[in-house]
Homo-oligomer: A and B are copies of this chain.
């Protein structure tokens, strides 16, 4: 049986959950894909662990200091790297060095953190193309909500005309709270923090940057665009008053923070801002921490997906969906052979 060696760089909540899920699914990988999957290395920013025979769940709490960094991962012999480190789109974050090294060496990469992809997406894409590595990023592009899947797989062959997405769960939760409970932004934020639905610093969410990052990934990796963050118009929800919320409510409209892609003269334009929807639109019913995407195409009309899932499990599952797609792509399958027998 073929052995597939996997490493995980970035070992916070999502990285650990991904490791656990990967180990739990080893029997599935044997049965469905005929491969023996080994987790040969994991590391956070300051500690890690490696074992060429494969780590077991019980070892994951015994990380050793200094075992970290691209060379540590490279020396593990991993064929697939899952990158789940902290995300920083202004610098690329620690993921950038891991991904550059892995893709240059032809290792397939599954990316969960957005930073490196937003900062240097086209460069990483080129490194992958040059080495023949597969670069997947479902976990970074809205996790359990299928977005890139729809663009690449379900709409294969169609020309995508426009995309709009509710891509950030925190802002969607806040807008819902403002609308249904008549709160202003500050009060909704206090309420969300009290319930554990928002982090201490939510500016990345509420100013629209998280949505913008995901949108950029959809544009560059789903539609082959070549955008940088400077190309996006980004507006958040922090300046929305209770009065505006009331006015929309009286008109039967529901506000959502929307990332939009449109095709203008053959190029992709991207923007983030508030749009309102009538109650009859499925986007009006994407409540709480759900996310959604609507894709308009030439041949299939409008396709909408809505989803979320519990974190960090859903994001780990999205990354391991990418892993199965890599296993499938790497499975050698005979090319068309009927011609010879006809």
Contact = CB atoms under 8 A, between A and B. Distances in A.
Interface of A: 2-5, 21, 25, 28, 74, 77-80, 105-108, 132, 144-146, 149-150, 153-158, 279-282, 284-287, 299-310, 313-314, 316-318, 320-321, 323-325, 328-339, 341-342
Nearest to A102: B338
B314 A301 contact: yes
Given A156-B321, A282-B285, A316 B299 contact: yes
A178 to B, nearest CB: 17
Given A156-B324, A333-B330, A335-B332, A301 B306 contact: no
Contacts of A313: 299
Contacts of A330: 333-336
Nearest to A289: B301
Query: Which secondary structure dominates where chain A touches chain B?
Result: mixed
A307 B301 contact: yes
A301 to B, nearest CB: 3
A157 to B, nearest CB: 5
Given A107-B338, A303-B307, A146 B157 contact: no
B146 A154 contact: yes
A318 B335 contact: no
Given A79-B336, A303-B144, A309-B300, A105 B154 contact: no
Given A279-B279, A325-B153, A330-B333, A338 B106 contact: yes
A281 B284 CA distance: 10
A324 B79 contact: no
A138 B155 CA distance: 11
Contacts of A25: 157
B146 A334 contact: no
B155 A321 contact: yes
